[in-house]
Amino acid sequence: MSKPADHAPAGPRQAGPAVPPRLGLDPALVGEARQLAAQAGQPIVDMARAHTTVSVERAVLRLAGLSGADADGMPLANRLVDAVREQVGLERGVALPAWDALLRGGYPDLAALALDAAAGKATFRVPAGDAARAARDAARRALAGGFARIDANRAAREAMIAQTSDPPKPWIYLIVATGDIREDIPQAQAAAREGADVIAVIRSTGQSLLDYVPEGATREGYAGTYATQENFRLMRAALDEVSRELGRYVRLTNYASGLCMPEIAALAALERLDMMLNDSMYGIIFRDINPRRTLIDQRFSRQVHARAGIIINTGEDNYLTTADAVDGAHTVIVSQLLNEFFGREAGLADAQLGLGHAFEINPELPDSFLLELAHALLVRELFPGAPLKYMPPTKHMTGNIFAGYLLDAFFNLAAVLTGQEILLVGMMTEGIHTPFLSDRDLALENVRYVRNAAGGLAGSLRPEPGGLIDRRARQVLDEAIRLLRTIRDQGLLSAIAEGTFGITRRPPDGGRGLDGVIAKADGYFNPASEILDGSTIQEGAAR
């Protein structure tokens, strides 16, 4: 049951043993799967390189230090981008006209320019010649300052880990979100004291559909707390405090998805978050956000995460809340391979690829646990360098808290047997109500018991060659390769439109946010992309 808030979790925190390959997968088949994913993904990368979005352009301004909102609460980044788009368009980016106007108008900063733009007092042009060179230089200097802050944050994270300690894996990932950031903070600190290694602050329902990022600390949210720069700052400071108290670094995660994906990624980097939910298709399938908008935004977001040393978490687990976890298992593998390709192309290291999957097979199915082990082992062996994020059962939680607690224990056992590295804590009250602190205490106790009692089994599990686990893993990989061939031939956008992932159909020209996609024109200028692409890092740092 619940222990005093200042009491450290009992029992040793042993690092999970290294899990050697146990399925003997054919390297040629694995190589073919990756090659097919690259062939399917490259047209999306080409599309992303040829387009920008309003959120990418707003992220440029935020990385240059623009924050704040006008009297109506609309962020100044939105006001400035909208004004530039209305007057001269965004085909050449926001930076050139914005910094040109800043220099011509003698404004002290971007905020003053944005306020005048919102009032209709600022004029914009696409400069040429010396004026264009001056604007580019000024923009590059501003963005170099933003990236210097991001680089300093990455160094500060490493320094704090060295001063405290890095908890052994699996990292215990626990969700906190009351709607009120001031209430989230003590709950997050209490969860850390009970053993949580990663605190995830769920966003308020519907924030992913907002085409702006709210400003300031927020105290009202529905089933979650708004993702804002100030909320990020407050929670990071609170977790730094408890990290020093406990002598281990407690990580913070939030959600870089939805219509403001690039901006939230930028704010997370500026405030030293450690993980971000950042899936290539989640917003398309589950929030009906336009596929083109999402796939363009995700590339820029992942470039920012790569620079900041942030681990991304992908959302394949969500497919199994709508599709059958057995019939749809191969779609999880396909999505993971695509997420890996997109992530690596954007600069993410394998250690930053928190690829997702979930324990969602119907427990009434005979041999359901063996099938779960097959799926989890397959994912583990396909992505040996990735810190996999394993999600607990949700779809088959019935409200019977005793059966739910047992099912969560089986999930925890599957995790330690197969070497998962980011373990989201299952709640016995899943789907009944927002968890109480006592629910979280019991869930963490469940994890600790299974990890301490059975962690050593990971090195002893050897699936029987030709047995059920072995056959099932090979079947899923074969099905994934067949599907990847189809996606390569017909195109990823067409596959999404046909409901390949999560059985939900999303046409490429449907959904929210398509009006925010802009084709780049000759002369497009984005100083953030220059730095992220590595072309002007030294130049920017020297200015």
Sign (positive or negative) of CA dihedral 210, 215, 219, 225:
positive
Contacts with 382 (C-beta within 8 Å, 6 or more apart), sequence order? 25, 30, 33, 333, 336, 337, 477
Of the candidates 47, 543, 507, the residue with the CA atom closest to the CA atom of residue 299: 47
Structure tokens at 251: 């990580």
Contact (CB, 8 A) for 291 and 511? yes
Across-strand partners of 171? 422
Tell me the torsion sign for CA atoms 186, 224, 78, 342. positive
> Going by C-beta distance under 8 Å and a sequence separation of 6 or more, which residues neighbour residue 466?
none
CA distance 117 to 114: 5
Residue 286 phi/psi, 5° resolution? -105, -10
Separation CA 192–CA 421 (nearest Å) = 17
CA distance 58 to 266: 10
Q: With contact defined as beta carbons under 8 Å apart, do 506 and 495 qualify?
A: no
Place of tokens 């780049």: 520
Can you list the positions of beta strands (E) in 85-202?
A: 171-176, 198-201
Cis ω before 170 (30° cut-off from 0): yes
Catalytic residue numbers? 282, 317, 389
Residue keyed to tokens 């352009």: 57
Per residue in 487-519, is it b (16+ CB within 10 Å) or e — as a string? bbeeebbebbbeebbbebebebeebbbeebbbe
